[in-house]
Amino acid sequence: MPRIWPRLLSAAAVLLIPASGHAFEECAPFAVVVASEGRQIEIVDHGIEGVSPGDQRIGVARLVTEDGDDVGEIHWVATVVQPHEDGSSRLISDGVLRLPTGDVMYRMLPEATFRDPDVTPLSAAPVEATRLITGGTGVFAGVSGDLAWERQDNDDLTFTMNVTCD
């Protein structure tokens, strides 16, 4: 009877990996969508009232394939580095994509990351920035590369993950 457990665990692990052959089943470039539906963002206002250094946007959202199949979650923290008089902000952000085959961590560098002051707290940031892959787990162990995102009309974000692994 004890030999059944390894088989059950193996079968359960197979069920966690999508059967449709998505590209993130191996460390290779892929695209994934950050769904706007159900996206949760918490604004943490540190220090003085209004936008100031250290203020944060902490969020979580579903990750789906371009066909709409659930494949994981994304978690992120964006921190105000420098507010500007026009209401825009320079941000730095760290995030993790939690996928069935492993996690991919990234950092958005603050060189050109300005937030439009008219963006609502629940919408995606319309920023141009460098987003570097900083690490990974599972099939993404040893990952490097970068990512780009494109905001869709429905406020979803398509992440294009340009990844390679050692």
CA distances from 1 to 5, 10, 11, 76, 83 (A): 8, 16, 16, 44, 63
Give the closest residue to 95 by CA, choosing from 63, 123, 69, 134.
134
Query: Amino acid letter at 97?
Result: L
Which domains are assigned to the chain?
22-165 (2.40.480.10)
pLDDT at position 9 is 39
Does the structure show a pLDDT above 90 at 17? no
Q: Record the tokens describing residue 126, joined without a space.
A: 């319309």
Q: How many CA atoms lie within 13 A of 50 on its CB side?
A: 9
pLDDT per position as a tens digit, 21-69: 556 778 899 999 999 999 998 888 887 877 788 888 899 999 999 888 9
What is the DSSP-derived secondary structure letter of residue 137? -
Asked if 95 contacts 105 with a C-beta cutoff of 8 angstroms, the reply is yes
pLDDT at position 33 is 94
Q: Where are the beta strands (DSSP E) in the chain?
A: 30-34, 40-44, 56-64, 70-83, 89-99, 102-108, 114-115, 131-136, 143-151, 157-165
pLDDT per position as a tens digit, 71-110: 999 999 988 888 777 766 778 889 999 999 999 999 987 6
pLDDT at position 70 is 94
> Higher-confidence residue: 15 or 100?
100
